[in-house]
A = this chain, B = another copy of it.
């Protein structure tokens, strides 16, 4: 059986409340009592049960972090930043993966909600209403999404996309395909919207190839469709899909960027590793994790604040997967 506050109290020869006090406010107990308690704590390796504490204080010291897919290298960078920052602030992070399934997302939030003080939801796939309903019960910060009345950290997709479209236009591309990500993804909708605006502004035709899974296999599956559109360049919802395209293009003998240019989104660590290295729109991932936690903790300490917003920069990173348009 795990060691409880009573075990410590018994060993130290004091009451449970004295143990509690020693831990919470060491200067409110007599030095000799304090010392006896501290020795007992050390000897038994006592560690308070945060769940039980949460029952009475309403605070567990835990935060929930939910992402759609840990296998997508985009998320680990954010997760690492979140965990590092949370550790600094003495919070534990409970991480869960929804497998891109909105239903699983809601179920997970349900299951965790009584055991955490708040949620950081990254690229949440559930509906706005569900999100707001969670927010009614518990502090929530969404990352890479925007929902009315809910605190959010987002990326300035407009800036990055503008750079990318400008880059392609300069290279002579006049027909650009976009491979969309999940229908349930807010940022996918956003990127589609921005792409329509920016391409038409510079006289580039935007071709839609429909939705695909935001994974390697998703990209691979849609590659032939992309080629069939006759586009000289393709942008994807994320880097994994772009890498999937590259894989299929190589198998088909389609040259990149000779036959077609490819632009991804996220700048995951693999992007520069493949052949050719991937041109992509980089997001300030670490900053996002840190900003998200800081915002969440702020909400915890100050629940009545209006929903804050943070927008983080994006930056086109040009590598070898983009080049001059093949002559139509």
Contacts and interface: CB of A to CB of B under 8 A. Distances in A.
Interface in A176-196: none
Contact of A70 (B79, B99, B110): B79
A134 to B, nearest CB: 11
Interface of A: 2, 47-52, 54-55, 60, 62, 70-71, 73, 76-77, 79-80, 83-84, 87, 92-97, 99, 104, 108, 110-115, 137-138, 216, 243, 246-247, 269-270, 273-275
A115 B50 contact: yes
A52 B55 contact: yes
Looking at A48, A114, A137, which has the most chain B CB atoms within 10 Å of its CB? A114
B55 A113 contact: no
B96 A80 contact: no
A200 to B, nearest CB: 34
Contacts of A52: 51, 55, 114
Nearest to A90: B111
Contacts of A47: 110-111, 113-114
B269 A216 contact: yes
Contact of A71 (B76, B97, B115, B246): B76
B114 A2 contact: yes
Contact of A77 (B71, B246, B247): B71
B216 A273 contact: yes
Contact of A274 (B110, B269, B275): B275
Contacts of A60: 51
Contacts of A104: 87
A47 to B, nearest CB: 5
